[in-house]
Amino acid sequence: MGMAPCRVYIGFGMLFGLFLKGVLLSPIYAGALEVPLFERNNYVLTKKKTLQGVGKDSSGLAYCPATKTFFIADDEGTVFEITPQGEAVRKIPLEGFLDVEGISYIGGSTFALIEEGLGHLDLVTIDSTTQALNIRDAKTYNIELNLDNNGLEGMAYSKEEDVFYLAKQKKPRKIYRVKLGSSKPVITIPFDAEWLPVRDISDLYLNSKISPHLIVLSSKSNRILEVDQKTGRTLSSFSLLLHIYLQKPEGLTFDEEGRMYIVTEGSVDNFFCFEPKDQATSKKGIQ
């Protein structure tokens, strides 16, 4: 006499539980659980400063974690280094550069500058001994020959991808993905930036520790967007209208604590610090 086959009965509840567990652990759903930056962090203005000894035409802003200082590109031909408290450390003249509108920290002592009218990306070295920067010492890449005042305006560097994202300000708005090589850079346009809900683009930022997505600053719209850099879809946004309404926000960066800093054109109240609300009592930002 043989043994009767074993019958296993799985109730609907168990099946649903197994299904739900599989969905929750799937990469697709894990991505959906990711909360956009400006929904995850309710940024509040904690400090604003008038930068002393810095020109009124500030355009680009970069943070260097190695020195814990900021570098501001002035389109009149100067890079300024300042402390988190807004105090000037040094003034670095730019020799032979034309209309520098953006600056990014790459790593070590390497920074990148963009020249708006020429459409150039320049790699330069800034260390503790740097007193001036000469174009002859820079490694220059031609991104777009556009000799007008609506050329390259913002820049972000992705350390993970080892690529740059560069923004053409307007007419039309464009975002380029640039991979530098030994000779000619590989340039692609990942999405149509004309569809972004802003009037222009003044700066970009990208750091996976802050957000895996591209951060876009608009001067004319006084708005910051978090954008999927592959599709151009806006994921979240933050309005600056209640905080910066008389100045033009031109540069954007974050520090390692997640604080957001903005530099504006003008000579009064031109350096702003925003912090996530849950850490807004911190005293490590601008004092």
The model's pTM: 0.85
Q: Are residues 101 and 29 in the same domain?
A: no
Per-residue pLDDT at 234? 97
Q: Please name every residue paired with 115 in a beta bridge, in sequence order, or none if there are none.
A: 100, 120
Per-residue pLDDT at 284? 52
- 24 domain residue, yes or no: yes
Q: Are residues 227 and 266 in the same domain?
A: yes
Per-residue pLDDT at 27? 38
- 194 domain residue, yes or no: yes
Q: Are residues 160 and 242 in the same domain?
A: yes
In the chain the first and final C-alpha atoms are separated, in Å, by 88
Rounded Cα distance, 102 and 99, in Å = 9
Q: Are residues 63 and 90 in the same domain?
A: yes
Rounded Cα distance, 286 and 272, in Å = 8
Q: Pairing between strand 78-82 and 69-74?
A: antiparallel
Q: Are residues 85 and 205 in the same domain?
A: yes
CATH of the domain at 247: 2.120.10.30
- 4 domain residue, yes or no: no
- The residue range of the domain holding 75 is 41-279
Q: Please name every residue paired with 158 in a beta bridge, in sequence order, or none if there are none.
A: 163
CA atoms 59, 63, 67, 70: torsion sign: positive
Per-residue pLDDT at 15? 41
Sites in the chain below the pLDDT cut of 50? 1, 3-10, 12-33, 147, 282
- 207 domain residue, yes or no: yes
Q: Are residues 125 and 22 in the same domain?
A: no
Q: C-alpha angle with apex 165: 160 to 167, nearest 5 degrees? A: 165
**Tens of pLDDT, residues 67-115:** 999 999 987 899 999 999 888 999 999 999 998 999 999 999 999 999 9
